[in-house]
A = this chain, B = another copy of it.
Amino acid sequence: MFEFSQMGLRLGGPSGISELMDDLGHALASGGGQIRMLGGGQPAHIPEMDVRWRQRMHEMMAHGDEMEKVLGNYDPPRGNAAFLQALAEMLRRELGWQVTAENCAVTAGGQTAFFFLFHLLAGEMADGRRKKILLPLVPEYIGYANQSVRGDLFQAHLPRIEHTGPNEFKYRIDFDTLVVGDDIAAICVSRPTNPTGNVLTDDEIFRLTELAAEKGIPLIIDNAYGAPFPNIIFTETKPVWNQNMILTLSLSKLGLPGTRTGIVVAHPQLVAAIANMSAIVGLANPGIGQAIVLPMLQSGEILRLSNDVVRPFYIEKSRLARHWVREVFASRFDYHVHRSEGALFLWLWFPGLPITSRELYVRLKNRGVLIISGDYFFFGLDGNVDWRHRNECLRMTFTMPENVVHEGIQVIAEEVERAWREKDG
């Protein structure tokens, strides 16, 4: 049919993230049916949070023409002025960060913030040099992988694997071999890491900050699941920010993914550029998410709900999922679970798995269980990196109802066992 451009072929073709989101959206719309959807990053409908969103909608409806304005007015491209003001004041008041509204911008979801940030800083420079985004630890978020409009955008670094307990491990940044070259535009990490639930330690973050500062480049921290909200972090960490850091936040994992509300906290130079990109690419941002949480920023309630409702909810979800994994997997085959320090996923590693994780994904899908094959999260590596580990992992989400997660884990066990039996038999 019609001819596509190079960029069209890249962004318009199938990708891990597009398949994943398509699976997820249709599974949700169909009410699940026979599908056990452990694939996407869909947050749970936490009853207390849903009640609060409903209250806010009633308040907005009752408050003069507030709802009509939210639906019917364009916001400035940087975001609603009252929202940006309330956000900056909350960050200053509650965390002591030196930020004003000039440090904050809204985007149409966190994913879009990354598309903008990566292309703002990396790719082809005015003088023809090319710069990349350094991912100091892969596996890293699948949603970054296909965002390049042209050429390679990422340079990824393999982690050290630390065994932290029976059937448990944790990735660590391998600082001994991490080099930040002159072709690096920024360092980027998600914290907690999507897909592994790893939470980089304060010390690891400090060392990355230092490396970035030495090179005069920013450190991007994707807080979609992290601090200060929704704070789905199960370890003790200190949220930090300075002018050399770019922090992204999102309302999605608080429970508002349908509103598409992302946030960038950064140096005003970067924030102004993000706003200009929002204007050119999208004119303005969706208003409803900002309007819903505005008073919750002003009162600080957004932090209380994160800490007292969202975080404990997912701690329990993680505990249950790990409990079932231990119980169901038992000693049927060799497995390790990444230490669950945050986010909505378990990251399972099957050392020596006789089939690839991609094949395992297909077999599970045929059994009605959707997970994500781990290999998608290992990108930005030199083509010649041959690391068997990357084909031995999978990401499973633990936000769905208990029976779905439990049954999913049982089917995973059966299929891993079958793969071993086929080999050994």
| A interface residues with partner B (beta carbon < 8 Å) | 1-9, 11-15, 17-18, 21-22, 24-26, 28-29, 40-43, 45, 50, 53-54, 57-58, 61, 65, 67-78, 80-82, 108-112, 115-116, 119-126, 131, 143, 146-147, 149-150, 185, 216-218, 255-260, 267, 269-270, 272-277, 279-289, 292
Determine whether the beta carbon of B256 is less than 8 Å from that of A72.
yes
> Min CB distance, A141 to chain B, in Å?
11
Pick the 8 closest A-B CB pairs, nearest first: A25-B76, A12-B273, A18-B279, A8-B120, A258-B287, A111-B283, A286-B286, A1-B269
Determine whether the beta carbon of B71 is less than 8 Å from that of A259.
yes
Determine whether the beta carbon of B7 is less than 8 Å from that of A77.
no
Number of copies: 2
> Min CB distance, A155 to chain B, in Å?
15
Measured CA separation A17–B110 after assembly (Å): 22
Measured CA separation A24–B120 after assembly (Å): 25
Determine whether the beta carbon of A4 is less than 8 Å from that of B42.
no
Measured CA separation A72–B6 after assembly (Å): 35
Contacts of A185 in B (CB 8 A): 3, 5
Picked from B2, B5, B72, B77, the residue with its CB within 8 Å of the CB of A22 is B77
Picked from B17, B29, B73, B123, the residue with its CB within 8 Å of the CB of A6 is B123
| A217, closest chain B residue (CB) | B2
Contacts of A21 in B (CB 8 A): 74, 76-77, 279, 283-284
| A113, closest chain B residue (CB) | B282
Contacts of A40 in B (CB 8 A): 74
> Min CB distance, A190 to chain B, in Å?
14
Contacts of A28 in B (CB 8 A): 69, 73-74
Determine whether the beta carbon of B74 is less than 8 Å from that of A12.
no
Contacts of A267 in B (CB 8 A): 1-2
Q: A7-B149, A17-B283, A71-B258 are in contact. Are A76 and B26 (CB under 8 A)?
A: yes
Measured CA separation A217–B61 after assembly (Å): 47
Determine whether the beta carbon of B26 is less than 8 Å from that of A126.
no
| A148, closest chain B residue (CB) | B280
> Min CB distance, A344 to chain B, in Å?
13
Measured CA separation A120–B110 after assembly (Å): 22
Contacts of A18 in B (CB 8 A): 77, 275-276, 279-280
> Min CB distance, A86 to chain B, in Å?
13
Determine whether the beta carbon of B11 is less than 8 Å from that of A74.
no
| A9, closest chain B residue (CB) | B126
Contacts of A280 in B (CB 8 A): 11, 15, 17-18, 115, 143, 146-147
> Min CB distance, A372 to chain B, in Å?
14
